[in-house]
């Protein structure tokens, strides 16, 4: 569980969840921590620290780009930091950025190490209030761990060019049991074009201004908004420049505590009928709604990130869950609404979460494109349609066994025009969502099987009087399968078997005056394991993970097939060439490591 409580009462609630009452023991728990015996088992004191990683496409600078020009933004240790202000550092644009060169690529690198025992912790990185990275820490070992996260932050070029303040919040607790202190370096790497490129087309230009929609310092927490329940709505008022001609909201979302595993939550009537006082409810559907004033401008149906301590902590060592080190963000184009926003008045940008339990962390960055040849642009809304959420739950249960099928759909679309020195441009933005979740309890509630699919389509269509400027469509599918079964329960000790399959299928197509661009990502991860749990601590167990990542696009290709078993990489194959068509395994770079005999299976599959 990635934890970052916001108040003492929140921490007490968290502890209550981590130590479930006997009345709910039959229902499968998902929150466990490694016990000292497992942390020390099969550990050679001379072993080097273990390197954890999330499988992702490497970030490569354009060919011939000089660099990197690297600047250490912040170096700090996060020990007893829960409930304290974020660590901050003054930011000045690096000299190489002030030199007038044309920026080709900016990469933010988080590198950290830790040893001992510790929870996984959620953290965020902000620059001048705008979030640059949302991530989860790895859980350490006594001999230490290392990990790094790199995120392309080129889209924040306007922000990087101005002085500001870096803020990092990583709420951590250290005591006699949880001893891990996270030592962190945060570095900015800049690459520049070898020669000045021609001016980009209007729709390819980076935003001229990035406005944070987050809380302001001073705080004893992160800058994100904390949404605590279904009726909680958080917002920030701001006025946008009068010469804005395009606007895109980039939304950051993460879910924790009672809603960390929202996709496994049963309906409330099942909980009440079985007197399950510590089992989170509200069913298995969640969404984040984004509003500008009273208008729903878009929604986020989030990818089901499983943090590094989730379900069975041994599953995510050293290969972490998809998105756990670099949580995805979600873009909502609000250009059609500019006609309502270009009045020099403040407007409320707000967030809520349907069916939410405590707690969701949400904030956003508003990317604005400005017409430097005009003091004022004008616009109007042509059409706007947002259907009500269509949500249904088919619920059948007897005692602790039951079946719950949840279906949902939603559509949002808007069309508007903006007149600037570029002419009059009409923009349409749409979203179409579909959701299916099957949640089945069997064997007196000791076995739970969740099968879920989120289907999200979105598009942007922009045209002027003479041509289509941009036509972009994105189709994302998030499949998820979770099986957990408990057995051999004696008092506060039991065995748990788990199987998790999750993935991201992402296809993007764009065309228009910019030319044709295409990309397809299929990222699939499968993990299974077993463990013995005592007093909510894992005292023995096994975790095995296999992941296949395949990206094909007009900007290149990347393939990786990697598997691990309890900290040990069994095989790792990768390829970044598109020239062979279907990936030829004979050409992959290969690494094969024999399984260590000490990492034996302790429980029955």
Dump pLDDT digits (tens) for 237-293.
999 999 999 999 999 999 999 999 999 999 999 999 999 999 999 999 999 999 999
Per cent of the chain over pLDDT 70 is 86
pTM across the whole model? 0.90
Give just the sign of the alpha carbon dihedral 82, 232, 1, 494.
Answer: positive
- Average pLDDT for residues 303-309, to the nearest whole number? 97
Answer left, alpha or beta for residue 488, where phi above 0 means left and psi between -120 and 50 means alpha: left
The whole-number pLDDT of residue 106 equals: 97
Band (47; pLDDT cuts 50, 70, 90): confident
The whole-number pLDDT of residue 446 equals: 94
The whole-number pLDDT of residue 489 equals: 86
Q: Who wins on pLDDT, 592 or 163?
A: 163
The whole-number pLDDT of residue 538 equals: 84
The whole-number pLDDT of residue 200 equals: 59
What would the pLDDT profile of 442-496 be if each residue is shown by its tens digit?
999 999 999 999 999 999 999 999 999 999 999 999 999 999 999 988 888 999 9
Say how far apart CA 196 and CA 101 lie, in whole Å: 8
What would the pLDDT profile of 199-252 be if each residue is shown by its tens digit?
656 556 899 999 999 999 999 999 999 999 999 999 999 999 999 999 999 999
Say how far apart CA 399 and CA 427 lie, in whole Å: 53
- Average pLDDT for residues 6-12, to the nearest whole number? 32
Band (32; pLDDT cuts 50, 70, 90): low
Say how far apart CA 349 and CA 340 lie, in whole Å: 13
**If you search the block for the tokens 């749409």, which residue do you land on?**
430
Q: Give kind and range of the element (H or E) at residue 299.
A: strand 295-300
433 token code pair:
């969502």
For the ranges 141-145, 180-184, 196-200, 525-529, the lowest mean pLDDT is seen at: 196-200
- For residue 339, is pLDDT > 60? yes
Band (66; pLDDT cuts 50, 70, 90): confident
What would the pLDDT profile of 355-373 be if each residue is shown by its tens digit?
999 999 999 999 999 999 9
The whole-number pLDDT of residue 156 equals: 98
Say how far apart CA 498 and CA 490 lie, in whole Å: 19
Band (25; pLDDT cuts 50, 70, 90): very low
CA distances from 1 to 119, 238, 307, 310 (A): 7, 34, 6, 5
- For residue 438, is pLDDT > 70? yes
Band (15; pLDDT cuts 50, 70, 90): very low
- Average pLDDT for residues 333-350, to the nearest whole number? 97
Q: What is the mean pLDDT of the chain?
A: 89
The whole-number pLDDT of residue 582 equals: 45
The whole-number pLDDT of residue 33 equals: 59
The whole-number pLDDT of residue 602 equals: 26
Per cent of the chain over pLDDT 90 is 79
The whole-number pLDDT of residue 65 equals: 85
Q: Where are the domains of the chain?
A: 2-592
DSSP codes of every residue in 207-270: PSEEEEES--SS-SS-SSEEE-STT-EEEEEE---TTEEEEEEEEEEEE-GGGTTGGGPPPHHH
Contacting residues for 415 by C-beta, under 8 A, at least 6 apart: 336, 381, 382, 383, 384, 426, 427, 428
Rg for the chain, CA atoms, rounded: 24
- For residue 34, is pLDDT > 90? no
What would the pLDDT profile of 154-167 be if each residue is shown by its tens digit?
999 999 999 999 99
Q: Are 250 and 367 in contact (CB under 8 A)?
A: yes
Band (527; pLDDT cuts 50, 70, 90): very high
The whole-number pLDDT of residue 525 equals: 98
- Average pLDDT for residues 27-44, to the nearest whole number? 56
Q: Who wins on pLDDT, 525 or 577?
A: 525
Beta bridge partners of 290: 298, 351
Say how far apart CA 295 and CA 337 lie, in whole Å: 9
- Average pLDDT for residues 574-595, to the nearest whole number? 53
């Amino acid at each position: 569980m990635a934890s970052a409580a916001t108040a003492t009462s929140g921490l007490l609630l968290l502890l209550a969840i981590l130590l479930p009452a006997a009345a709910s023991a039959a229902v499968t728990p998902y929150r466990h921590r490694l016990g000292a015996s497992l942390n020390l088992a099969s550990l050679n004191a001379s072993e080097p620290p273990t390197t954890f990683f999330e499988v992702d496409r490497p970030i490569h600078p354009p060919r011939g780009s000089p660099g990197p020009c690297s600047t250490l933004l912040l170096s700090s240790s996060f020990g007893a930091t829960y409930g304290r202000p974020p660590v901050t550092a003054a930011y000045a644009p690096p000299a190489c950025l002030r030199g007038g060169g044309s920026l080709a690529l900016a990469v933010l690198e988080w590198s950290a190490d830790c040893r001992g025992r510790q929870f996984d912790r959620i953290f965020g990185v902000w620059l001048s209030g705008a979030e640059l990275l949302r991530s989860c820490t790895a859980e350490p070992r006594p001999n230490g761990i290392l990990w790094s996260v790199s995120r392309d932050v080129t889209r924040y070029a306007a922000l990087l060019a101005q002085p500001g303040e870096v803020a990092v919040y990583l709420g951590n607790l250290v005591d006699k049991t949880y001893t891990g202190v996270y030592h962190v370096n945060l570095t900015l790497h800049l690459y520049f074009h070898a020669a000045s490129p021609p001016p980009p087309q209007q729709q390819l230009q980076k935003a001229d201004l990035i406005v944070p929609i987050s809380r302001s310092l001073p705080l004893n927490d992160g800058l994100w908004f904390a949404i605590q329940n279904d009726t909680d709505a958080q917002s920030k008022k701001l006025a946008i420049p009068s010469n804005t001609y395009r606007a895109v909201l980039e939304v950051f979302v993460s879910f924790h505590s009672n809603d960390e595993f929202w996709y496994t939550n049963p309906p409330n009537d099942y909980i009440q009928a079985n007197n399950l006082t510590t089992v989170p409810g509200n069913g298995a559907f969640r969404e984040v709604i984004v509003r500008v004033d009273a208008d729903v401008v878009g929604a986020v149906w989030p990818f089901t990130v499983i943090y590094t301590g989730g379900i069975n902590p041994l599953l995510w060592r050293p290969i972490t869950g998809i998105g756990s080190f670099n949580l995805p963000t979600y873009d909502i184009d609000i250009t059609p609404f500019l006609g309502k926003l270009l009045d020099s008045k403040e407007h409320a940008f707000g967030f809520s979460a349907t069916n939410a339990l405590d707690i969701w962390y949400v904030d956003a960055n508003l990317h604005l494109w400005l017409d430097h040849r005009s003091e004022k642009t004008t616009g109007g809304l042509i059409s706007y349609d947002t259907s009500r959420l269509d949500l249904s739950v088919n619920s059948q249960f007897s005692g602790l066994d039951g079946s719950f099928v949840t279906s949902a759909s939603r559509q949002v679309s808007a069309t508007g025009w903006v007149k600037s020195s570029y002419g009059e441009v009409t923009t349409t933005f749409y979203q179409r969502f579909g959701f299916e979740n099957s949640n089945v309890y069997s064997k007196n509630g000791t076995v739970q099987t969740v099968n879920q699919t989120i289907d999200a389509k979105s598009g942007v269509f922009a045209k002027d009087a003479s041509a289509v400027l941009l036509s972009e469509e994105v189709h994302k599918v998030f499949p998820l399968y979770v099986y957990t079964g408990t057995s051999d329960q004696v008092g506060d000790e039991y065995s748990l078997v788990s199987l998790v399959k999750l993935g991201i299928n992402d296809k993007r197509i764009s065309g228009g005056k910019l030319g044709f661009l295409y990309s397809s990502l299929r990222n699939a991860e499968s993990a299974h394991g077993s463990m013995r749990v005592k007093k909510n601590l894992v005292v023995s167990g096994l975790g095995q993970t296999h992941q296949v990542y395949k990206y094909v696009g007009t900007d290149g290709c990347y393939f990786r097939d990697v598997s691990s078993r309890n900290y040990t990489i069994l095989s790792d194959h990768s390829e970044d060439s598109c020239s062979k068509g279907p990936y030829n395994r004979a050409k992959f770079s290969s690494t094969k490591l024999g399984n260590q005999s000490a990492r034996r299976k302790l429980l029955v599959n």
